[in-house]
């Protein structure tokens, strides 16, 4: 979900590589949606009818990771009471997504390199290679080149998985996508809205546009889900979305009296529009071109709105 140039670039690159078998390395901060992009690449490929198998390499102990990836035979080690099919074999004909590849121990990195290059896996406890037809997509939030230089990641594996790199921008660099993402998650968590949908107060949206979102889209999703659960009003207030800001300052839950007093749609729309533009003017320090880009509108439309609401761009030139 997004209309920003940076996100549209990611989608174009994902669509461009979908029908190839080249390995893809997705980079970006935690919570930027790397698994979703990996799933999108798979869904757009000729392999879409076959399995998409994700695994977080950092979430499985080193002693178990090799068995998870490549499988094992019965009796291969203490506790191996039955044969286990590895994830590479389960993904046969489809795609395996190796998330947090930078967390994989060197002992596993060697075998990953062999599996990618030869398209074969050797389960623990056997010496017989098994052919696998798998598209490999990897992801990391680390600087893998730095990890290579520090001796934590194999250089040969790095160049093998970095055939097609796609970088996902953090949410703070795609602010114009926040309103779209908010609407998407509101709909996701509230179903068909048969019992009445909650919205977002303009003051809440203003705070969301100014927030840095260190946890990116995952944090946005979590905050919206929590706000919907604990919000007592018909709309999500700033204190519902950012309770820590109000708890630490001792303020009571904010009530947007101006907005609550509005009864007709046109007045409510104008109220939101004015506050939205003022918020963007603060963020962009009065730069009309930046405001237009974030809002997804042409500059003449922005000029029309600032005239309509008697907003002076010079008032924001030195705003912090």
| The 95-99 sheet, strands edge to edge | 52-56, 95-99, 135-140, 24-27, 164-167
Task: State which residues of the chain have pLDDT below 50.
Answer: 194, 248-255, 257, 319-320
Q: Count Cβ neighbours within 10 Å for each residue of 153-177 and write b for 16 or more, e otherwise.
A: bbeebbebbeebebebbbbeebbbb
Q: Which two tokens stand for residue 239?
A: 């204190």
Q: Which two tokens stand for residue 182?
A: 């908010």
Q: Are 10 and 170 in contact (CB under 8 A)?
A: no
Domains of the chain, CATH where assigned? 5-169 (3.40.50.300), 172-316 (1.10.8.60)
Specify the pLDDT at position 193: 55
pLDDT digits (tens, 9 = 90+) for 208-255: 999 999 999 999 999 999 999 888 888 899 989 998 887 644 434 444
Rounded to an integer, what distance in angstroms lies between the CA atom of residue 311 and that of residue 313?
A: 6
128: nearest Cα among 82, 67, 73, 84: 73
Specify the pLDDT at position 78: 66
Q: Are 51 and 43 in contact (CB under 8 A)?
A: no
Measured in degrees and rounded to the nearest 5, phi and psi for residue 106 equal -60, -35
Specify the pLDDT at position 76: 64
């Amino acid at each position: 979900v997004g209309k920003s140039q940076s996100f549209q670039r990611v989608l174009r690159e994902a669509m461009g590589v979908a029908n190839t078998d080249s390995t893809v390395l997705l980079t970006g901060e935690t919570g930027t949606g790397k698994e979703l992009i990996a799933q999108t690449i798979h869904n757009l490929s000729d392999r879409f009818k076959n399995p998409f198998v994700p695994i977080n390499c950092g979430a499985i102990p080193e002693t178990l990771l090799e068995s998870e990836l490549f499988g094992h035979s019965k009796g291969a080690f203490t506790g191996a009471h039955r044969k286990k099919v590895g994830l590479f074999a389960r993904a046969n004909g489809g795609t395996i997504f190796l998330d947090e590849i930078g967390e994989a121990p060197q002992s596993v990195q060697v075998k990953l390199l062999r599996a990618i290059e030869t398209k074969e896996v050797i389960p623990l406890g056997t010496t017989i290679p098994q052919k696998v037809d798998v598209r490999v997509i990897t992801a990391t939030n680390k600087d893998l080149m730095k990890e290579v230089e520090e001796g934590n990641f194999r250089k040969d594996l790095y160049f093998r998985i970095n055939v097609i790199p796609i970088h996902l921008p953090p949410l703070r660099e795609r602010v114009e996508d926040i309103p779209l993402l908010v609407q998407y998650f509101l709909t996701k968590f509230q179903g068909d809205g048969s019992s009445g949908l909650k919205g977002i107060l303009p003051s809440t949206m203003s705070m969301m546009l100014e927030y840095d979102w260190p946890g990116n889209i995952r944090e946005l999703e979590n905050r919206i889900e929590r706000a919907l659960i604990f919000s007592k009003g018909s709309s999500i207030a700033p204190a519902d979305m950012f309770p820590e800001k109000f708890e630490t300052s001792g303020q009571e839950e904010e009530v947007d009296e101006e907005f609550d007093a509005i009864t007709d749609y046109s007045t409510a729309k104008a109220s939101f529009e004015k506050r939205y533009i003022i918020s963007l003017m603060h963020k962009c320090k009065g730069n009309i071109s930046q405001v237009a880009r974030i809002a997804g509108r042409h500059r003449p439309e922005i000029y029309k709105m600032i005239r309509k609401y008697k907003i002076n761009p010079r008032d924001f030139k030195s705003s912090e």
